[in-house]
Structure 1
Amino acid sequence: MRRSFYRLDCSDLDTLLEQLKKRGYSIFGPRILGNAIQWKPIDSLADLPKGHSVQLAPAQYRLQATQDEGLFQYPGALNSLKSIFHPPRQTITTIQKTNGDLDFHQEKPEAAKRAFLGVSACDLTALAALDKVLLGSGEVDEFYRANRADAFLIAVHCTQSAPTCFCASVAAGPRARTGYDIALTERITDDSHGFLAEAGSSLGTEMLEESNARPAPPEWIRQSTDATHRAAAAQTRAVNLPIARPVIESTFEHPRWEDTARRCLSCGNCTSVCPTCFCVNYEEHSSLDLTQAQRIRVWDSCFTHSFSYIHGGSIRLTPKSRYRQWLSHKLARWQDQFGVTGCVGCGRCIVWCPAGIDITEEFGVLEQAAAAVPVAGGTPHGH
């Protein structure tokens, strides 16, 4: 469809949220909870982290006040939309025992109309990746499909990058390209606070026109593009995805893996905050009187010792083997399996690793090592 551009002020954006509520949508957005910006239900723009940003670095997350009135002047929420569409705990089956009889109740996924305000480009890319895995690669995850079906996505183009961002190098941002109903660019000047709004779907166009949106001046469109280009140029971290597979294959026994393993705690923080990690396990719980039991699906992590268990024992016994598996899957094996990358450059794994392990730094060391390894014909890898 042909893109349509509009201008909105803050009251227009609040009107848009009200119109979505009238259509039966519950609204989610970024809000401050526990000294962090997280995806939570909101009622209006007043719930957003106005005048706040975050300071990010390896193993560091700090909420901080700013001097402006911006609503989206932060590089993404702590959690991603994965935590809502593919939640960390999902009851699958409930069993009730009554007078010796067992009643099995299979939970049925129920579609819910949800609208999300403030989705970053990298998180949109992550959703597209999860769609490939959970909807398009064989067996469909019915709970994910129900949660995803009626989602209305309002993206926000990133006009600032955090020091931990590297979305530009993996083609996942800072500008949202597809997958949204509306995309916003926040504009703050000395005398105004508003948004450039771009419709990405017919429903997005309909909602904007119901919300008093007016045509945007042409210079606003150019300024939005320039701002996201500057944000991309400001990123200092990067991953060279096209060479990820040969780099990892040629450095499989490189000593860097062991060096990293000495720091890795195998805590699984990186997989929990990663917007594309999807692995799960199943647990059975019963009441003390044994009259009720539940089968619950929970997030799992390839960093746990039991993750690779096959009858007789686990395959990946060491932190080295588990970290190598994770990085290899994120940067290379996803491309083989699903045709897309498993890393969107959001930098969450860098921020929330207690040891400050940086995936871009680790891959960079391996890339340099691979470049120095001669291959057939005498040419080093990567050249």
Structure 2
Amino acid sequence: MVIDCVVVGAGPAGLAASSLLSGFGIEHVVLERARPGETWRTQRWDSLHLNNPGFMNTMLGDQDPDTYLTGPEVVRRLEVLASRAPVFTGIDVVGVARLHGRWNLRTSAGQLQARTVVVASGGENIPRVPSLANRLPDRIIQLHAATYRKLPDLPEGAVLVVGSAQSGTQIAEDLLAAGRRVWLATCPVGRASANYRGRETVRWLDEAGFFEHRPEDLPDPRLVRAVPALLAPRGQNMSLQLLSEAGATLTGRLVAVEGETLTFDGSTAANIAYGDRSAANIRSLIDAHIQAHGLDAPAAEPDPAERPIEIDPPRQLHLRAAGIGSVIWCTGYRGAFHWLGDDLTDSLGAPLRQGAASPAPGIWFIGLRWLIRRTSGNFIGFPRDAEVIANDVRSFLTARVARAGI
């Protein structure tokens, strides 16, 4: 049997693809190695909230436009989506190859042939941990953001959080609220004010078309590799300054480990300034949108997350002297695309693609950052990208029938 399309992965991107394929009447199956939304089940800490409000996450079903869903709520909604899709669980795709003009997928349940394939196996589900982790003393409990769950899982004492993007700032904030001493090794991450000129910043940005920016719209193509700007959940402000005021000790980037002694670079002030510049750029974009459309909006107000602070970041830190018993690595993720083989991936193991399409005929990708637009890597973007891909799959299959009469 040859099926028209196989979707690999039943996370939110794969489920969005399945929904649109069904809408186009395309026969397909979704193969999932574990359970639908597995990454959301096993790689999220207990107190996590989405950092985008409900109006940006409509693929997850009806919800208050201003709500910020928790991780378990996301899982429950993904289960509902999966119940409506032709999902087959417990099937791991381990290889794919061209065979007689079709794609032959090798799976843990045998082989399957498909005319087209949509790869939705995720670009961010393998934790990245720097090699410095191997140099930490054995007594230190090390977790990644993917394996950290809740405060009681940590030993007593202070905590070093490495990385100050979305995961690092949320986890650091939770630890501080629980009364833990936190050291935060920072990095350059943009941010956005929660509110500006009378409205939520994300609503201004959505109205201004910010989330629809495509890679070719950027002034510098390298920006697609930048860490996404920090947005705090529940409509709150977040910045390194606010974390410092809450009690976190900020440092620069961790650059060396020698026994109990850690060394940081001198980038703390620059990392704070980077976030402030990003917030200012976003405010300027909103100002330009308001002016261009003659909108009635209150005057700009100071950013509450940008208050000046006095810092004296340490360049070295002795773990035992600081009472640190655990480290949480908030250092990002990568995807696992080895099963695609060398012909479909580059020297770093990333998928070869032009937009969403592979150079190989009949393969598309979904769920990757900046795949088609700025929001390609999150809930607001999955359905929009899925519509493009499902339409391409339909055109491909129609052209195939016209050429070969099959």
**TM-score, normalised with respect to structure 1:** 0.23
Instruction: Tell me which protein shows more strand as a share of its residues.
Output: 1
**TM-score, normalised with respect to structure 2:** 0.22
